[in-house]
Structure 1
Amino acid sequence: MKPATIEAWVWLLIYGGLLLACLGWFVARIDPGLGWVLGAVGGVALVAGVLLIVVRSRMGP
């Protein structure tokens, strides 16, 4: 993959994961099951974005 593509995925996963995690936190008050699912998916996306930062830092220019 090109570095620019990885950088785009990093931003998408980090911000999308944060958005889903926050949405899950608010939804959990009404529907705890759905809230946990949204929070978990958001957390996984956030971790994937952070891992892609590590991958990008180890790539050449």
Structure 2
Amino acid sequence: MKTSTLETWIWVLIYGGLLVLCLGVFVARRDEALGQGFMLVGAVAAVVGVVLIYVRSRRKSSE
């Protein structure tokens, strides 16, 4: 995978995950189970993005 593609995925996962997490906070006021589901998915996506930053830092530059 190219570094530019990896960087795109990193930022999409981090920002998208945080957006879904915030959405879950607001949804939880009306439906707690659905809100917690949103928060869980958002948190996992953001964590995966952070892990990909670590992976990118450990890769050897092939470009």
Give the TM-score category using the shorter length.
over 0.9
Gapped regions of structure 1 (runs ≥ 5): none
Cα offset for 1:59? 1.1
What is the aligned-residue identity percentage?
A: 59
Cα offset for 1:29? 0.3
The one-letter code matched in structure 2 to 1:43 is A
Cα offset for 1:60? 2.0
Q: Which has the larger radius of gyration?
A: 2
Runs of 4+ in 1 over 6 A off after TM superposition: none
The alignment's TM-score, normalised by the length of structure 2, stands at: 0.94
The alignment's TM-score, normalised by the length of structure 1, stands at: 0.97
Query: Structure 2: how far apart are the matches of 1:46 and 1:25?
Result: 15
Instruction: Give the CA RMSD over aligned residues.
Output: 0.5
The one-letter code matched in structure 1 to 2:33 is G
Match of 2:35 in 1: 35
